[in-house]
Chains A and B, each alone.
Chain A
Amino acid sequence: MKLRPPQEGDFTSPTHGPRVSARIGLWLGIAFGLCFVTGLISHGIQHPAAWFTWPSRPVNLYRITQGIHVTSGVAAIPLLLAKLWSVYPKLFGRPLVRSVPHALERGSILVLIGASFFELLTGVFNVAQNYPWAFFFPTAHYAVAWIATGALLVHIAVKLPVIREALSRRRTEQRPATGALTRRGFLLTTGAAAGVAVLATVGGTVPWLRNVSVFASRSATGVPINRLASAAGVTAADSSWRLRVGEVEFSLDELRAMPQTTADLPIACVEGWSASATWSGVPVRDLLRRAGLPAGSDLRVESLEKGGLYRSTTLPGTHTDDPLTLLALRMNGEELTLDHGFPCRLIAPSRPGVLQTKWVSRLEVL
């Protein structure tokens, strides 16, 4: 037998072709859509434009949107691979380029596939806090998301007639499998693979699946600590520590003597894991009132941390005005440990974990 490069017609398996491709493409499009929208939400909360507001209720809202972001991305991995398999013979279509539009179309598909892999791979590595690259992840992941979505829309526009045809056609007879799977078997396997991928990871944010999800980033017990005091260069504050709110200072004993609010609130990380705890502390709203500052002000929250990206964060007015936005002194009935933010930390409903500033030293009206 003489070896030659494969040709489009060599791929006889019924797992190729528009009927498979359009179906998996539809699922993949839904996963990408969810991932893009929830990603924009998370970006908007962390880098708010003037027109952007994010509600502080329900308290689990960010936990849900970011859980969907990571989970839809994980589900998209097997869907993307299945989608590419369904169209793999087209890679060997000749001539390579028939016309200028055809060249543009092939080019846009390369952009789409490159950007899609980039988003999914850097995403799952980032969730594992694993960074085998030289760029700053948030900037690159955000920019390439627009590229992937744009290229996907171009692809949908080009293929719309094929998609319509493939999805509306009545049942045809099953062609026999020439490899391991029939068309139906391939679709079922793809669905199962997406399901297994979700099950293996989603326990990071869905408590009752914690022990099923072998690749959940957080382990089974306790509230995880993302940044240790030692890593942040923070040592235990002594009795000279004061919380400064505007021009007024409060000692830790004064904070403890104020009326305390207790609430169950989640820490919901941008990396998709979440953990609920019972927090007790002084509502930020009360501190503003005592300091004679206007209610519902945007605040800058500063930490004892010397450096780091999240040393200082902005707390928008919708959150400062929420009675559940606390400067927490206690977690699950015990005084905060140093690693959890002693002497006090911010905990606000529906907000990314990186913005729940620990070791708070100062609140300032913006």
Chain B
Amino acid sequence: MRWVIGTLGVVLLGWGAVELLPVVADSPLSLGGWLLGGPVLHDALLAPLVGVGGAVIARVLPKPWRAPVGAGLVLSGVLVALAVPYLWRTFSGPVTPGLHDRPYLAGLLIALAVVWTGVVIAGLLGREKRGKRGNTPATP
């Protein structure tokens, strides 16, 4: 079973490499940058940032707020990432009637406001729950 899946994988990989040859010949630098950019940016920048962010949250914030704020930051990051192609348009085609003509910055701000409202509600609810249980240690 494993060998079947693995062999199939190698075949598809090879087929993709053949299909990619004209692009490699045509624009190697642009292609290489986009292929390597993701892993490099993730490993060297994004993941360390997430790790440090998590550690800071665990140190600075009281317990009921840690998960909501952590989750809120993750959702905010995803929203900001999805907004980039709409807000940074140096290389974009022209805006045509009915396409790419929404107020994307306002949309992003509204979405972030909704997320952080949720964070505040979840934090307050969590605090109340802990208060009711009667155990309120400042640190775990």
Residues of A within 8 A of B (CB): 11, 13, 74, 77-78, 81, 84-85, 88, 91, 110-111, 113-118, 121-122, 124-125, 127-136, 139-140, 142-158, 160, 176-182, 185, 188-190, 192-193, 196-197, 200-201, 214-228, 231, 273, 275, 339
| Interface footprint category on B | 35 or more
Q: How far is the CA of A275 from the CA of B98 in the complex (A)?
A: 10
Given contacts A114-B38, A150-B13, contact A140 B20 (CB under 8 A): yes
B residues 39-64 in Cβ contact with A at 8 Å: 39, 42-43, 46-47, 50-51, 53-55, 57-58
What number of A-B contacts does a CB cutoff of 8 Å give?
247
Distance in angstroms between the alpha carbons of A82 and B51 in the assembled complex: 12
Q: How far is the CA of A140 from the CA of B32 in the complex (A)?
A: 11
Q: Is the interface of B mostly helix, strand, loop or mixed?
A: helix
Given contacts A143-B16, A154-B9, contact A189 B70 (CB under 8 A): yes
B interface, CB within 8 angstroms of A: 1-3, 5-6, 8-17, 19-20, 22-23, 26-27, 29-31, 34-39, 42-43, 46-47, 50-51, 53-55, 57-58, 66-67, 69-71, 73-75, 78-79, 81-83, 85-86, 88-94, 96-102, 104, 107-108, 110-111, 115, 140
B135 to chain A, nearest CB (A): 15
* Complex Cα spacing A255 to B121, Å: 62
Residue of A nearest to B97 (CB): A225
B99 in contact with A224 (CB, 8 Å):
yes
What separation, in Å, do the CA atoms of A148 and B20 have in the docked complex? 12
Q: Is the CB of B5 within 8 A of A180?
A: no
- B12–A150 touching, CB < 8 Å: yes
A-B contact pairs, 25 of them (CB 8 A): A113-B39, A114-B39, A117-B38, A117-B39, A127-B85, A128-B85, A129-B100, A132-B90, A132-B91, A133-B27, A133-B34, A142-B19, A146-B15, A153-B6, A153-B9, A153-B12, A176-B140, A180-B70, A189-B67, A189-B70, A200-B111, A201-B82, A214-B102, A221-B98, A225-B96
**Nearest opposing residue in chain B for A11, CB measure:** B51
* Contact call A181/B54, Cβ cutoff below 8 A: yes
| Structural contact, B12 and A149, CB atoms closer than 8 A | yes
Q: Is the CB of B30 within 8 A of A178?
A: no
On whether A114 and B35 interact (CB within 8 A), knowing A81-B46, A133-B27, A142-B19, the answer reads yes
Report chain B residues within 8 Å CB of A136: 23, 26
